Amino acid sequence: MTPDRNTIIAFALAIVVLLGWEYWFAPKKAAVAPAPVAGAPSATPVATPATVPANPNAALGTPAEAAAPEQRIKINTAHLHGSLTLTGGRFDDITLAQYRDTLDPKSPEVVLFSPTVAAKPYYAEIGWLSSDQGVVLPTATTTWTTENPDAQLTDTTPVVLTWDNGQGLTFKRTIKVDRDYLFTVEQSVQNAGEKPVTLFPYSLIARFDNPAEKATYISHEGPIGVFNSASMEKKYADVKKEGRIAAESAGGWIGMTDKYWLSAIAFDPKLKIAASFNYADAAGRERYQTDLRADPITVGAGETKAVSSYLFAGAKELGILDQYAQTPGIARLDLAIDFGWFWFLTIPFFHALRWLHDLLGNFGLAILAFSTFVRLLMFPIANKQFSAMNNMKRLQPQMKALQDRYANDRAKMNQEMMELYKREKVNPLTGCLPIVIQIPVFFALYKVLFVTIEMRHAPFYGWIHDLSAADPTSILNLFGLLPYGIPPILHIVSIGAWPLIYGITMFLQQKLSPQPADPMQAKIMMYFPLIFTFVLASMPAGLVIYWAWSNTLAILQQWLLTRNTGPGKTDSGKTAPA
């Protein structure tokens, strides 16, 4: 097999890896086996009409319930806007102050949580459970009180909610929020009765209907959790099919993730938790839930006991997620960002691009600088590749003679070929090495551009206003010069300016490369620029810019190498004997 055939296979493999590696071949996250706690109340989403819930889903209501007048506490920080309702004490109204729906700076803030009367209800709830049905607990319809109804929840002003169950138990919630995305809720119970009470603290996140943003093979979107430092990811369809998926852990967290946004709940990391992903039909609406239940707390007569809960509601910014993993200790919160199978490349690439962005002030320039660095790093290997391809071309007449001589004896032909390679000191696989190395580099960079929020709405120059989105121009309307849009049915043949630039650079690069001796192989190789132009047309513009610039550097590199290792020269650059 010549290196040209290897090149064809390597390029084809690149497409397979890019489009299907994680979906088909990447190892799946190991499921954590459930271990039920004897005598503990279940957190399964079974909607019951009971006045006092045996689980956190009782009296939750549905999006169709009538909107009753309710009092709210306003949330106002540098990163979060919204409110929490005193009816049930839910977190059900949160927008992200630093992020907009579109590139228009006047577009609405990204909505994370919405109340049950909204089109897409999505909220978090914190409370208590009890296996004793006689204990009256706060529910989703409980009206909490606060000393100052006009108070705002800010990063400097916490709020305190209280409720008396009329049986000697006073429940209190002290809610704090930091400057970023973390709420801390300290729940305390004061027992003025004569008997001890055993309670289970719980937290849940509920979401109605599948989210509008569809999940893709390249990034997980849906229910997610980390238990005993291992990630468990579930599709909404999986949860709907199984109904309930349970796990237990020492510490850990659970929640729901979108491409860029995350909601997650956790307890004090020292507590043992029982977690579950759940699905239920709520008055004809799909209802998904992730919840945690901590070990029981017994509050003796005259005692007051408390437990801390945490709610993350915000953007998946790696630095902030790492910070919360340290304090308050929400283990591996960074796993909410799907860095993928090549995480050992993806994470360093992300940090490198962010450092270059801080240095150059633009992620597009950071991508160009990163591409230059990769090319310089691979220059020695590329030198060997170019020399090997020239040497293989020089050996083509001898190889053809061996193929003709031993046409009926393949074993003998292969043996003679190996002797020829050994005698001429040529390695037929050397020409493929740079391409094989670039496959994971290409895929890792694709992941960085696709999953990291830092690339969202990050501009370059000219018509590229979002490096994480495809090039918005199209050859079908002369890149915007003609006054009409592109119908969706034609998007498959719509090529933007940068993908076209990429195709041209790939064509020029091939022209400078040693051509395959086999005419059929040469014809096949000439189709590659066209094929990859269409493949990259729908990919993030940042990735296309990286590849086009990388090709440009390769053209310069090949021009330099041709001067020393042109046709008829050996690896050392000397003219080969006739």
Token output for 471 = 């090039």
Region of 235 please: left (phi>0), alpha (psi -120 to 50) or beta: beta
Query: In the block, which residue shows the tokens 């209501």?
Result: 61
* Burial status of residue 28 (CB atoms within 10 A of its CB: 0-12, 13-18, 19 or more): exposed
β-strand partners of 278: 244, 289
Binned at pLDDT 50, 70 and 90, residue 503 comes out as very high
| Residues 507-515: contacts with CB under 8 Å, at least 24 apart | 508/551, 508/555, 509/551, 509/554, 509/555, 509/558, 512/555, 512/558, 512/559, 512/562, 513/386, 513/389, 513/558, 514/386, 514/389, 514/390, 514/393, 514/567, 515/393
Binned at pLDDT 50, 70 and 90, residue 308 comes out as very high
Q: What is the rounded average pLDDT of the residues 424-445?
A: 73
- What's the chain's average pLDDT? 82
Q: At what angle do helices 433-451 and 363-394 cross, to 10 degrees?
A: 160
Q: Judge whether residue 400 has pLDDT over 90.
A: no
In angstroms, the CA 17 to CA 296 distance is 48
Query: In the block, which residue shows the tokens 């990429």?
Result: 502
Q: What is the rounded average pLDDT of the residues 442-449?
A: 84
Q: Judge whether residue 319 has pLDDT over 80.
A: yes
Cβ atoms 266, 310 nearer than 8 A: yes
Of 183, 166, 163, the closest CA to residue 175 belongs to 183
Overall size of the chain counted in residues: 578
Binned at pLDDT 50, 70 and 90, residue 433 comes out as low
In angstroms, the CA 555 to CA 184 distance is 56
Q: Judge whether residue 213 has pLDDT over 70.
A: no
> How many CB atoms are located within 10 Å of the residue 174 CB?
16
Q: Judge whether residue 88 has pLDDT over 80.
A: yes
- pLDDT value of residue 517: 55
Binned at pLDDT 50, 70 and 90, residue 219 comes out as confident
In angstroms, the CA 503 to CA 138 distance is 63
For residue 150, what are the contacts with CB-CB under 8 A and spacing of at least 6?
A: none
- Its pTM stands at 0.80
Q: What is the rounded average pLDDT of the residues 515-521?
A: 64
Chain segment 323-353, per-residue pLDDT in tens: 999 999 999 999 999 998 888 999 999 999 9
- pLDDT value of residue 26: 42
Cβ atoms 467, 542 nearer than 8 A: yes
- pLDDT value of residue 445: 83
Region of 442 please: left (phi>0), alpha (psi -120 to 50) or beta: alpha
Q: Judge whether residue 24 has pLDDT over 70.
A: no
- pLDDT value of residue 383: 72
Q: Judge whether residue 291 has pLDDT over 60.
A: yes
Give how far the C-alpha of residue 328 lies from the chain's centroid of Cα atoms, to the nearest Å.
23
Give how far the C-alpha of residue 11 lies from the chain's centroid of Cα atoms, to the nearest Å.
26
Binned at pLDDT 50, 70 and 90, residue 4 comes out as very low
Query: In the block, which residue shows the tokens 């390695």?
Result: 427
